[in-house]
A and B are shown apart, each in its own frame.
Chain A
Amino acid sequence: MDMAQKVSAETAPGTTPGATPDTTNVLIVGVGGQGVIMVSRVMARIGQLQGFDVKQSEVHGMAKRGGVVFSHVRFGPTVWSPTIPRGKADILLALEWAEGLRWLNYLKKGSGTFIADTRHIVPPFACLDRTRGAKLGYLAEPPGVVLDQVADGYALDATALASALGNHRVSNTVLLGTLSVVIGFAPEIWQKAIAEMVPPRTVEVNLKAFEAGRRWAAAARENPESAREHTLRKPAVLPELEARDFELRITPEWCKGCDICVKMCPERCLSLNALNIVELTEPDRCTGCRICEWLCPDFAIDVIKTLPETASR
């Protein structure tokens, strides 16, 4: 699917490429402090202003800075569930590059649109060996590679555009500008929603950021290759997946359900069960990075490395 085709498809809500006639699913991801929640609330507000039923769910229990944050926004004539199943997002909006990569499997195959800031913010712990056993690793894929994998993609240095306006924090609004071109609706509606949601003192710069994002998107449509401007190096060959050389051992009788591991897991592969005891619910995503082990105050999680024979003493 080429860019022109997608551009022509951009007309009205509900007709976004790949979306069901009823519901548009927007998944917004980033790390703490970037403004994921603001973006999702603007999206939700726009849905309301358009008269749609809107459902929004967000995970932002992490902290002001550094932790992983994501938000699901769904709008349409009638929306039942607030969460977007894997592979069902029409749009994945990533405020941070690696987070965008990590959530790629939520995007609809063949039709989803990927919008991401190319800036890297290394989250806490820097995920020592996230690549081990993980499908997508930090810095492993430059934008060009990613954009080749998605139906439609925009990789822009929104932070640079925001900084040019004098406030790097409005990078999220730059991305909203880009998103507005993809989704449609009248710009005035977007501007109204943004003005409502941002602090009064920053309305002006946010509206400028919105325009900057729109201009960049418009230029990208004029010249699709410019959307790939960040293809900085040749596509890397993804390493073959190694056999798992670790095991996550949970001692349920020691777990007190404090939720630290669940919230801190970069891969979100842990959750608390009905008894408030931790369980490994997404074992495929576990990379053995040990963050849960280190941060468990109850010593209830051990990451056991099964060292290769040659390395064992």
Chain B
Amino acid sequence: MENFEIRFGGSGGQGLQLSARLLADALIREGRKVARSQSYEPTSRGGLSRADLVVAAKRIDYPLITALDVLVLLDQLPVAVSMPLLRPGALVIADARRAGEIPEGDHDLHLLPLSESALALGNERATNIVALGVLAGLGEVCEHDTLETVIRDGVPPRFLDLNLRAFAKGVELGEAGGPGR
């Protein structure tokens, strides 16, 4: 995908903004233009939270989401508000445990054990990085290596090992494809 729109949706505190920032970073390194926006409400502890990227090869005219090409869902909360924004055939990645109820529709759903994988690695908070790994594994959005590099550059050293393992697990899940519907 050259020009696309992607949303990370979840609840406050899930690290959605970090995921979006790392992905944006990676895309910019790949030469794309990115506009990043987020819900601007006090949602650091629970509540609907989202981080949106508008990605273009050249200049970005309108910087906000109009039709999503990719939707990453880490919680059930953003599902209802985000589904109507999906472009036909959009890629939807959802955490099977926390965002298991995804309505039927013309989209490519990947319901994956994102948070369970993070828990298995020892910290549920790494779910967001698992999700990034899935994006890399699916290979449609961003190159694997660029994403790994920005993770290395962009997360605190004491969490680096956990995050690299989470990323690797996500890549694995993405490459496997997961149960589509």
| Contact flag (A, B; Cβ within 8 A) | no
Where the two chains meet, the residues of A that have a C-beta atom closer than 8 Å to any C-beta of B are none
